[in-house]
Amino acid sequence: MTSDRRTLSGFGERANGTETKAFAPLEVEQSYPRHYPHPLGAPISIRQVAELLGCSAWTVRQKWIPKGLPHLRSGPSGRLTFFSNQVVAWVLAHQQKKGGTHR
């Protein structure tokens, strides 16, 4: 094997693809910023709400939504969407009604 050997691509064996090709690095963008400046907060799923409340998704559907947990039913499938700041504000208000306090 000689040092002149080339691969089928035409690059030497020790060539680094990012150095030999004239491609700019790919930048991946998010659909919304991580800090999500919207006053409602980031959209979250029913599983995330359940984790936040410390219960199951079933309990969120059967107990907390009928008690007024804010949500949005969207699309033909009736998918439930919640917004993080709304859920937290509702929980804090619900705690205060029961005589609890928040810090």
Residue 10 is assigned to a structural domain of this protein: no
Residue 45 is assigned to a structural domain of this protein: yes
Cα–Cα distance, 35 to 73 (Å, whole number): 24
CATH number reported for the structural domain that contains residue 45 in this entry? 1.10.10.10
Whether pTM exceeds 0.75: no
Residue 3 is assigned to a structural domain of this protein: no
Residue 33 is assigned to a structural domain of this protein: no
Reported as a single tens digit per residue, the pLDDT across 76-89 is: 888 899 999 999 99
Residue 26 is assigned to a structural domain of this protein: no
Cα–Cα distance, 16 to 22 (Å, whole number): 12
Residue 96 is assigned to a structural domain of this protein: yes
Range of the domain at 74: 39-103
**DSSP symbol at 83:** E
State how far Cα 27 lies from the chain centre: 19
Count up the domains in the chain and report the number. 1
Reported as a single tens digit per residue, the pLDDT across 1-55 is: 555 555 566 655 665 555 555 556 656 555 555 555 678 889 999 999 999 999 9
